[in-house]
């Protein structure tokens, strides 16, 4: 049985996969350099592979104006679960809905937190090193 957080995370990943597929994307999931899932348009398979990989995101392909674009979609940030993507994919509008869902489910926070030591850093310092342990806050 899945714990409540995993259920909520699954909702976000499934929503992201469905939204990305709806705008013409296919998704590949890697663990390090090993391919777990290649060019899938099946949200259930994407979620399973993503969960199995333990990675923070997956690789996405999309054709824009006849040119195949490839990039990363990530789900982990100093603010919790937040979907972000490489600019060339042009899916930020798609991920906005996913991020709203993550916020509704309580998977986002207003203050970035260092994943290494748990120190809450001030939002205007996002991207800076943690003042406690010196790690990146993401």
Q: What is the pLDDT of residue 123?
A: 47
Angle between helical axes of 4-22 and 92-104 (0-180°, round to 10): 160
Confirm whether pTM is higher than 0.85.
Answer: no
Per-position pLDDT tens, the chain of length 138: 668 878 888 999 999 999 999 999 999 999 988 999 999 999 999 999 999 998 989 999 999 999 999 999 998 766 678 889 999 999 999 999 999 999 898 887 666 677 778 777 654 455 567 778 877 655
What dihedral do alpha carbons 59, 47, 52, 111 form, nearest 10°? 80
d(CA 130, CA 43): 36
Neighbours of 18 (CB within 10 A): 14
Neighbours of 98 (CB within 10 A): 25
For the chain, the domains span 4-105, 111-137
Phi, psi at 115, each rounded to 5°: -70, -20
């Amino acid at each position: 049985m899945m714990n409540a957080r995993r259920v909520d995370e699954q909702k976000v990943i499934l929503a992201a996969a469905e939204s990305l597929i709806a705008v013409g994307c296919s998704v590949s999931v890697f663990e390090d350099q090993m391919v777990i899932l290649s060019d899938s348009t099946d949200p259930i398979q994407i979620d399973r592979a993503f969960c199995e990989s333990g990675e923070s995101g997956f690789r996405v392909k999309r054709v824009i104006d006849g040119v195949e674009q490839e990039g990363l979609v990530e789900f982990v940030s100093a603010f919790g679960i937040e979907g972000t993507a490489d600019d060339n994919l042009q899916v930020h509008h798609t991920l906005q809905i996913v991020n709203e869902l993550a916020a509704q489910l309580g998977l986002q926070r207003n203050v970035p937190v260092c994943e290494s030591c748990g120190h809450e850093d001030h939002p205007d310092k996002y991207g800076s090193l943690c003042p406690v342990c010196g790690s990146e806050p993401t």
